[in-house]
Chains A and B, each alone.
Chain A
Amino acid sequence: NAGVTQTPKFQVLKTGQSMTLQCAQDMNHEYMSWYRQDPGMGLRLIHYSVGAGITDQGEVPNGYNVSRSTTEDFPLRLLSAAPSQTSVYFCASSAGQFQPQHFGDGTRLSIL
């Protein structure tokens, strides 16, 4: 079972570059979300989606965009990368917002 798949696993960007972090799930979950994990700050919610065509902001949305054109995919876009966005990014899916979350293995992103 693939579960939640994130690509790439590692990425180094220069300040100002843009990129898209991919996330796909094969469990037919309606709820998907993006978190960033930084030392001493736990998991912080960036954006989330309760279903195809519906997205909303989380705790730290600035500098990131999302879209949800299909149930399976929930890409995260960095429009103009900044060093403050250096982090580990996790995508998660679940049957509902407060249901157990299924996480991908993360994307480790460094912005120089």
Chain B
Amino acid sequence: TQLLEQSPQFLSIQEGENLTVYCNSSSVFSSLQWYRQEPGEGPVLLVTVVTGGEVKKLKRLTFQFGDARKDSSLHITAAQPGDTGLYLCAGDPQTSGSRLTFGEGTQLTVNP
């Protein structure tokens, strides 16, 4: 059982559409990180959210951390082909001896 569940697993949309991907857990996290991974490369950090209810914007990307710090979402407005990639969330569980935990990722394809 994954501590962090990401949905959807795959998403294929047309350029210009909006989309939201989710990162959910039954556990509380001190913080959540979002990464994007392009083919043949390692994941690259997009943002870290720390406070419950926090919203961060990165150009057309909007990240939200749930009030209870158990979930997060990534919303992309007017998607472009350059947004194509694997989006990963990673969290810092609030349990003793825990390690940084990654979700399985959402593979996004934006078609021109």
Spell out A's residues near B (CB within 8 Å). Answer: 4, 35, 40-45, 48, 58-59, 90, 92, 97-98, 100-106
Cross-chain contact A45 with B99 (CB below 8 angstroms): yes
Cross-chain contact B45 with A100 (CB below 8 angstroms): yes
Q: Count of A-B contacts with CB under 8 A?
A: 50
Q: Does B20 contact A (CB under 8 A)?
A: no
A-facing residues in B56-112 (Cβ within 8 Å): 88, 90, 92, 99-100, 102-105
Spell out B's residues near A (CB within 8 Å). Answer: 2, 9, 30-31, 33, 35, 40-45, 48, 88, 90, 92, 99-100, 102-105
**B42 / chain A contacts, CB cutoff of 8 Å:** 4, 90, 92, 103-106
Could you show 7 A-B contacts with beta carbons less than 8 Å apart? A42-B104, A48-B99, A58-B99, A59-B99, A98-B30, A100-B33, A105-B40
